[in-house]
Amino acid sequence: MPVFKTAMETPPAAPVSSILTRSRHPRPAAFRCLMLVGVAVLLGPRATAAQDTLQIAPIADSLIRPISPMGAFWRSFLLPGWGQARLNRKLTGGIFVAWEGVTLGMSLKTRHELGYLRRTGSERAENKRREHEDWIVLLVFNHLFSGLEAYVSAHLADFPGDLRLEAVPGGIGGSVSIPIRIR
């Protein structure tokens, strides 16, 4: 004889195809700290620059010291996007911070999965170990590439951006002004 459940009974677990309203796994504190640091790096120079221009508007440009190329390299090597933010390259810095979050998150995720596979004795553990190593390599590459990009950008910070493209009767014409100092 079939048994029917009434509407008052609650199932012991949610069905597999249910839509989750929140994650079952809490986010680690390191992920939250990384996100806060990334937001502070990207928004920090803007807030302090606005305060400086209100206090000393006529001479604000002369007080800003350019960052050295090695200083920019080490800043971005330690925390990708920091040197770019100091050089006022917010989009580039944001891309490095976002990629840092992706690679760090995926390396932590694969490390967690690798631990689970090792505990259960799965034969897929070796493949997961390789995947974890790949994410670690991408994380290190992001630090190196961010530092090198900041180094080059600091060298080119005083390069003039006087490139003009104009429509001419035969097509497109361009002009570049390159200042030359003779001492």
Splitting the chain (183 residues) into consecutive groups of 10 residues, what average pLDDT does each group show? Answer: 56 54 58 64 54 44 68 94 92 95 96 95 94 96 96 84 71 69 76
The predicted-structure confidence for 44-86, as pLDDT tens digits, reads as follows 555 444 444 444 444 444 445 678 999 999 999 999 999 999 9
Q: Sign of the CA dihedral 136, 139, 141, 147?
A: negative
Residue 21 belongs to some domain of the structure: no
Residue 71 lies in a domain: yes
* Number of folded domains that form the chain: 1
The answer as to whether 169 is a domain residue is: no
Inter-residue contact 125 to 110 (CB < 8 Å): no
Q: How far is CA 67 from CA 83, 90, 106, in A?
A: 9, 15, 32
Question: Is 80 inside any structural domain?
Answer: yes
**Quick check: 128 and 121 in contact, CB under 8 A?**
no
Q: What gap in Å lies between CA 150 and CA 36, rounded to an integer? A: 21
Would 122 be classed as within a structural domain?
yes
Determine the structural domain holding residue 40 and report its residue range.
Answer: 29-50+65-157
Q: What is the pLDDT of residue 173?
A: 73
Res 143: pLDDT: 96
Residue 113 lies in a domain: yes
CA distance readout (Å), 99 to 46, 49, 106, 138: 22, 26, 10, 9
pTM tops 0.85, yes or no: no
CA distances from 149 to 32, 73, 77, 84 (A): 26, 8, 10, 8
Q: How far apart are CA 183 and CA 93, in angstroms?
A: 36
The predicted pLDDT at position 171 comes to 74
| Within-domain flag for 144 | yes
Domain membership of residue 135 (yes or no) is yes
